[in-house]
Amino acid sequence: MDNNIGIVFNKWQEYLERRNRQGLFIYLSDHGDQNGERGLYGKKTPVEASTRIPLLF
């Protein structure tokens, strides 16, 4: 996932440079629901699989 975020960031930088513009790249994350993984449900246990959910806008 981190590598893919780097690819998106680089494309964003290229876009800004081509248009001689400035911009923001905002990267956030939300822990998703467990949906039964490891017997867990809901948003109360921050395990690895649920903490690597990016939000780009």
Structure tokens at 4: 């893919």
What is the pLDDT confidence band of residue 7, given thresholds at 50, 70 and 90?
very high
This prediction's pTM: 0.54
Question: Could you tell me if 55 and 31 are in contact, meaning their C-beta atoms sit under 8 angstroms apart?
Answer: no
What is the domain partition of the chain in residue ranges?
Answer: 24-57
Closest CA to 36 of 27, 47, 28, 25: 47
Segment 31-43, tens digit of pLDDT: 666 777 777 777 6
Region of 41 on the Ramachandran plot (φ > 0 left; ψ -120 to 50 alpha; else beta): beta
What is the pLDDT confidence band of residue 1, given thresholds at 50, 70 and 90?
low
